[in-house]
Amino acid sequence: MWESGNAESIATYVHDVAIFFFKQRTAYDMLRSLVGSEMCIRDSGDTVIIDGTDGPLQPPSIETNAVVKGDPLPDVTVQTLDGTDVPLLSLVGQPMVINVWGSTCGPCKQELPDFAAAHLTFGDRVRFIGIDYLAPSDREEAFARDKGVQYELFYDTDGAFTNDVGIAAFPVTLFVNSDGIIVRQTGLLDEAAITEHIESDLL
């Protein structure tokens, strides 16, 4: 869609748009429509990877998600598949890995099997939670289960969690200690990185 030589101007434009909408659930879909493909946050949480039709474009150091490391989990409610409200803070009490995902996000789909594998290793010591930014549906539930996910799945039906944590780009994973404090936030992960972060930050 855009020439790669315009990377600097594209980066500036995407950055400005993301900052303006960083507390709106529609930010991801809006930015995705602008670039015509998928966007994700990798590693340190400050790099936007845009996969365009002419090949990957990677403007460096574009901060789109709010920095929440050191913050407590927000006092919001998420939902189960059947629509039951669950206060997020009621889940606090042991180390947690919270993966924010959705089936419309390509990188989210890529990492689900890695979270499933990590859960098999650490599930007896760490609580794994998936929070879907889409509405509750059998399709979403089946999609995750087909990727091997056996941990708890919740839904951010009203966008309260996404907004309070300041998420504009997916996937996002929060590593949370037993007191409910976010000790690490990341983007796209594989099983090795999940393992490293759990062992260094939660156990």
pLDDT at site 3 = 47
pTM for the model stands at 0.71
106 in a structural domain: yes
83 in a structural domain: yes
Q: Based on the fold, state whether residues 123 and 33 are members of the same structural domain.
A: no
User: Is the separation of the CB atoms in 80 and 136 below 8 Å?
Assistant: yes
pLDDT at site 158 = 93
Phi, psi of 129, deg, nearest 5: -135, 135
CATH code of the domain in which 82 resides: 3.40.30.10
Q: Based on the fold, state whether residues 82 and 159 are members of the same structural domain.
A: yes
User: Is the separation of the CB atoms in 22 and 64 below 8 Å?
Assistant: yes
Residues 6 or more apart whose CB falls under 8 angstroms from that of 200 comprise none
Domain residue limits at 132: 77-201
pLDDT at site 68 = 92
Distances (CA, A) of 53 to 8, 32, 50, 56, 86: 17, 12, 10, 8, 41
pLDDT per position as a tens digit, 82-111: 999 999 999 999 999 999 999 999 999 999
Q: Which DSSP symbol is given to 74?
A: P
Q: Give the total residue count for the chain.
A: 203
Q: Based on the fold, state whether residues 53 and 81 are members of the same structural domain.
A: no
Q: Based on the fold, state whether residues 119 and 166 are members of the same structural domain.
A: yes
How many distinct structural domains can be found in the chain?
2
Say if residue 65's pLDDT is above 90: no
Q: Give the strand pairing for 48-52 and 38-41.
A: antiparallel
Percentage of residues in the chain having pLDDT higher than 70: 69
pLDDT per position as a tens digit, 131-171: 999 999 999 999 999 999 999 999 999 999 999 999 888 89
* Count of Cβ atoms closer than 10 Å to residue 144 Cβ: 22
Full DSSP string of 183-195: EEEESB--HHHHH
Q: What is the spatial distance between Cα 160 and Cα 156, in angstroms, rounded to a whole number?
A: 7
pLDDT per position as a tens digit, 13-30: 454 444 444 434 444 444
Say if residue 64's pLDDT is above 50: yes
Q: Based on the fold, state whether residues 104 and 48 are members of the same structural domain.
A: no
Residues 6 or more apart whose CB falls under 8 angstroms from that of 142 comprise none
Q: Which helix (H) or strand (E) holds 162?
A: helix 160-165
63 in a structural domain: no
pLDDT at site 37 = 41
Q: What is the spatial distance between Cα 203 and Cα 94, in angstroms, rounded to a whole number?
A: 10
